[in-house]
Amino acid sequence: MKRGKGMKYVGDSRVNAEKTSQIPKDYSEYPGRTEAFWPNFLLKEWLVGSVFLIGFLSVTIAAPSPLEGLADPTDAAYIPLPDWYFLFLYELLKYDFASGPYILFGILVLPGLAFGALLLAPFLDNGPGRRPATRPVAVGMMILGLSATMWLTYESAAAVDWKQIAEDNKPIPESEQMEVDMDDPGYDVYANSCLSCHGDSLEGGAAGPALIGTEYSGEEIKDIAVNGVGDMPADMFDGSDEELDDLVEFILSVNEQANE
Amino acid sequence: MLQKLYDWIDDRVDVTPIWRDIADHEVPEHVNPAHHFSAFVYCFGGLTFFVVVIQILSGMFLTMYYVPDIENAWESVYYLQTQVAHGQIVRGMHHWGASVVIVMLLLHTMRVFFQGAYKKPRELNWMVGVLIFFVMLGLGFTGYLLPWDNKAYFATQVGLEIAEQVPFIGTYLKTLLAGDPTIVGAQTLTRFFAIHVFFLPGALFGLLAAHFILIRRQGIAGPL
Amino acid sequence: MSKKKNQVSRRQFLNYSLTGLGGFMAAGILIPNLRFAVDPVLKAAGDAGDLTNVSLSVDDITEEPLRVDWDVEQVDGWYESEVNRTAWVFKDENGDIQAFSPICTHLGCFVNWEGSEDHPNEFFCPCHNGRYEKDGTNIPGTPPLEPLHVYEHKVEDGMLFLGDPRPREEA
C-alpha cells in the first residue's frame, strides 16, 4: 500500500480511493501447478464438501439421534457410559494402576502427560526434519498413544451390549406414561416383591425387564413370581395365594390399560 | 443491478481489498487433490470447519425449542425431535456432527503431526489447534448433559465424580461445574447450558480466528 | 538532573495510566460476574446435619431389620423436591440402633433383609447375589466391594431421626 503524500481518499473519509483489481492474480509463473484459491481451488473443496454433506444428511435421516428416558436420579441400577470419545478415559480408570489408591495417576498424571505432550509437541520434537523417518521418537510416541487410545476405546465399547441398552432405555414421554393404580390391592404386593427390580410403574430397570407388554399368561406369571425365570431368582414373591392372585391381576390390568 | 450495488458500496467503503485478501492467495500443487490424489488428507481441516459451521447453525436453531430446565428439557428435546418438521434432521446434525467433528479433528491433527507441519515457524498455530481440540472435548462433555436423559445424567455424574478426585481443589471444582456440592440438578443443567452455548463457543471463535489468521500469514507448509 | 526528570517519560506515564484504567474497567465488570459464578463454591455447605423424623418410635425397633421409608426435602437452588429415602433399621446385640442404606455398594440395586432363603440372617441383593452380614459388612467373594452405607441417626422424644448415608470407615 502506498503511504504518505499522493494518497487519494473517498470524500473526507480515510477510505482509499484507488481501485484494487478484481481479477485474480495469474499464478502460472509460480513453481508447480499452482492455482488461485478463489475460485479455482475453492470450487474443488466445495465439491468435496457437497459429497460429504450428502452423506452426512443421509446419516441424520437414516439414524435418529438417540434419546433415552427422562433422567431419573433414583434409578440407581443405571450403568453410566460417556460419549464414545471419552470411553478411553473411562476404561483407563478401570485398571488397577489407575484406580483406587492410584486414581490420581489415572485422572491427572497420565492424561496430563499425554495432552501436555500433544500441546507442546513442537517444542519436544524440535529437530529440523519433517519426515516421520527422521523423528522416530515423536512418531513412535504418537503411534503408541494412538493405539493405546484406540485399544482402550475398543475394550470399553466391546464389553457393552449397545442394542440391549437402547432397548431398555427407550424414551417414554410423560403424556404416554402409565398411571399405575396405587390403590389396587395388587400394588402393595408388587411394591414389596417386584418394584425394586421392575420399576415403580412396571417400566423395568437394569435388574429386571419391563412387565408392560409381557407375553406371559396369568398362570405363567404366578409360576415365575414363585420359581423365577432366567436370571430372576426363585422366591421373589413369598406371600399367600390370595396375594399372588392380586399381584397377577394387577400386572395384567396394567398391561390391558397399556394396550388401549 | 447487483454489480451497480456492489460498485456503489465499493466506491464508498473500498471493500474489494478485504475479500481479495482472502481470495487471492495461491494454492500450491502439493495440496491439490486434483493433481495428487493423496493430497485429500489436506481436506480434513476444511471439513472440520464445515462441520463446525453446521454445529453452530443447528445449535442456534435447536435453542428455538430447547429449554435448559430439568422439568422441561427432556420434553422439549423429545418434542423437537418427534413433533417438529425436520426436527430429527436438525437434532441429528447436531448430535452426529459432534462425533464427526471429533473424527475430522483427529484426522486433521494426525495429518499435521505425521507431516511434521507443526515445526518452526508453525509452533503457535499447532498449540492453537490443540486448544481448539480441548474446547471441542469440553463442548462434547457439556452438550451431552443437555437432553437430560438417563444417559446424560449418569455420565455427567461420573464425570463430576472424576473431577472431585482432583486433590485439594476437587470439591470446589465439582461445585463450580455442578452448581451444587452434592446434587446434579437444576443448577447443573443451567451451568452446562451456559458453558456449552456461550462460554466455550466464545473461546472457539477466538481460537478459530487465530488459527485462520496464522494460516494466511504463514502459508501452508511445503511438501515433504 | 535531567536524567532524573526523564525517569518516567510522558509516554510511559500515559501508558501506565491507560493500563491502570483498563484494569479498573475490566475488574469492575468481572468482579461481580466472577463472584456470581463461583457462588455455589463459597456458599456455606447446607445443613447436612439436618436429621429427619422418620415417624418410627424407638420402641418399635427390634432386632429384626425393619424397612423404613421417608421423604426428605431436597433444595437445589430454586428447585425444591421431595426425595424418597429408605433404610433398614434394627437394634444390634448391644441394643444400639443401626440404620443401613439399602443401596448395594456394587451397582446400586436394592438390598433386602433375608432376601434369599438360602442365606438367612443376611442382607441379600437380587441383582448379582451380593450378600452382607447383619452388621452391614460385605461378605468376601460376593460382588460388593464395601460395607453398606450407614445413616446418621439420633433419637429424640422416643422417635428416630435419620440424616444422610455415609460410607462406613474401614472396620
C-alpha cell at B20: 481479495
A164 CB burial (10 A radius; 0-12, 13-18, 19+): exposed
Q: Do A82 and B155 touch (CB under 8 A)?
A: yes
Residues C1 and C79 in one domain: no
Residue A122 Cα, gap to closest chain B Cα (Å): 5
Residues C139 and C161 in one domain: yes
Work out how many domains chain C is built from and give that number. Answer: 2
Residue spans of the domains in chain A: they are 82-159, 174-259
pLDDT of residue B99: 96
Percent above pLDDT 90 for chain C = 18
Residues C52 and C37 in one domain: no
Domain range holding C139?
48-166
C-alpha cell at B12: 464508498
- From CA B96, how far away is CA B104, in angstroms rounded? 12
CA closest to B35 among chain A residues: A33
Residues constituting chain B: 224
Residues of chain A with pLDDT under 70: 1-4, 76-77, 99-100, 172-179, 196, 203-207, 231, 233, 258-260
pLDDT of residue B148: 94
H or E stretch covering A69: none
- From CA A234, how far away is CA A228, in angstroms rounded? 4
**What's the whole-number mean pLDDT along residues C34-41?**
92
Residues C66 and C37 in one domain: no
Tell me, yes or no, whether C8 lies in a domain: yes
Pick the closest to residue B164 from B180, B143, B151, B153 (CA basis).
B180
pLDDT of residue C117: 74
Residues C140 and C57 in one domain: yes
Q: Do A197 and C107 touch (CB under 8 A)?
A: no
Q: Please, are residues A135 and A125 in contact by the beta-carbon 8 Å criterion?
A: yes
Structure confidence by residue, pLDDT tens digits, C65-91: 888 888 888 888 898 888 888 888 888
pLDDT of residue C171: 38
Task: Please indicate if any CB of chain A lies within 8 Å of the CB of B92.
Answer: yes
Q: Do C126 and A79 touch (CB under 8 A)?
A: no
pLDDT of residue C170: 45
Residues C54 and C114 in one domain: yes
pLDDT of residue C13: 94
Of A64, A68, A126, the CB nearest to B92: A64
Tell me, yes or no, whether C87 lies in a domain: yes
Residues C39 and C53 in one domain: no
Which chain A residues are Cβ-neighbours of B158 within 8 angstroms? Answer: 80, 82, 90
Residues constituting chain C: 171
C-alpha cell at B131: 486448544
Which chain C residues are Cβ-neighbours of B174 within 8 angstroms? Answer: none
Tell me, yes or no, whether C171 lies in a domain: no
B203 CB burial (10 A radius; 0-12, 13-18, 19+): middle
Contacting chains of B (3 CB pairs or more, <8 Å) are: A, C
Q: Do B186 and C77 touch (CB under 8 A)?
A: yes
Cα A196 to chain center, whole Å? 27
| Contacts with A, B 135-174, CB within 8 Å | 137, 140-141, 144, 147-155, 157-159, 162, 165-167
Contacting chains of C (3 CB pairs or more, <8 Å) are: A, B
Instruction: Give the CB-side neighbour count of residue A29, counting CA atoms within 13 A.
Output: 2
Residues C16 and C52 in one domain: no
Three-state secondary structure readout of C115-130: CCCCCCCCEEECCCCE
CATH topology classification for A174-259: Cytochrome Bc1 Complex; Chain D, domain 2 (1.10.760)
Q: Please, are residues C41 and C80 in contact by the beta-carbon 8 Å criterion?
A: no
Q: Do A24 and B130 touch (CB under 8 A)?
A: no
Residues C144 and C112 in one domain: yes
Task: Please indicate if any CB of chain C lies within 8 Å of the CB of A81.
Answer: no
CB pairs < 8 Å spanning A and C: 33
ipTM metric: 0.92
Q: Are strands C130-132 and C123-125 parallel, antiparallel or unpaired?
A: antiparallel
Residues C69 and C36 in one domain: no
Residues C54 and C121 in one domain: yes
Best of C34, C35, C73, C79 to disrupt the B interface (most B CBs within 10 Å) is C79
Looking at domain A82-159, what is its CATH homologous superfamily?
plastocyanin oxidoreductase (1.10.287.980)
Best of A196, A198, A200, A227 to disrupt the C interface (most C CBs within 10 Å) is A196
Task: Please indicate if any CB of chain C lies within 8 Å of the CB of A70.
Answer: no
Of B172, B175, B187, the CB nearest to C77: B187
pLDDT of residue C47: 54
Residue C39 Cα, gap to closest chain B Cα (Å): 8
Structure confidence by residue, pLDDT tens digits, C117-159: 778 888 887 767 788 888 888 888 777 777 888 888 888 888 8
Q: What is the pLDDT along chain B (224 residues), one digit of tens a residue?
A: 899 999 999 889 888 888 888 888 888 999 998 899 999 999 999 999 999 999 999 999 999 999 999 999 999 999 999 999 999 999 999 999 999 999 999 999 999 999 999 999 999 999 999 999 999 999 999 999 999 998 899 889 888 888 888 888 888 999 999 998 888 899 999 999 999 999 999 999 999 999 999 999 998 998 88
Best of C110, C114, C128 to disrupt the A interface (most A CBs within 10 Å) is C110
pLDDT of residue C8: 86
